[in-house]
Amino acid sequence: MQILFVSFFKPKWRIISAFASGIYYGIAGVQYGLKKTSGSSEKFTLWTDLFIFVILFIYSIRSIEIKHSTAILPSYNEVAITHF
């Protein structure tokens, strides 16, 4: 939970927060999936945990892809300097 609050002020920590939270929700969803569910509230918890896991997983992957794709491209200033 503390990573969440830090990520409000330090955007670079959002990937870490999403990754850590995704692992937590993924493990919780698998745990509910492996045990025999007895009621509708446990089934609801299972599906919401897995849904949150998928959302955070997609966010983490897309954030990593964006970071890698922008790191390869030169900045505007570098291009302007080399052409003049």
Tell me the pLDDT of the chain (84 aa) as tens digits.
566 677 778 777 778 888 888 898 889 888 888 887 678 888 888 889 899 999 988 888 888 776 666 555 555 555 445 544
Instruction: Give the chain's domain count.
Output: 1
Q: Look up the domain containing 32 and give its range.
A: 2-83
pTM: 0.65
Distances in Å between the alpha carbon of 73 and those of 43, 44, 68, 70, 79?
46, 44, 9, 5, 10
Q: What are phi and psi of 16, to 5 degrees?
A: -65, -45
Question: Can you say how many angstroms the Cα of residue 36 is from the centroid of all Cα atoms in its chain?
Answer: 28
Question: Can you say how many angstroms the Cα of residue 14 is from the centroid of all Cα atoms in its chain?
Answer: 8
**70's tokens:** 């922008």
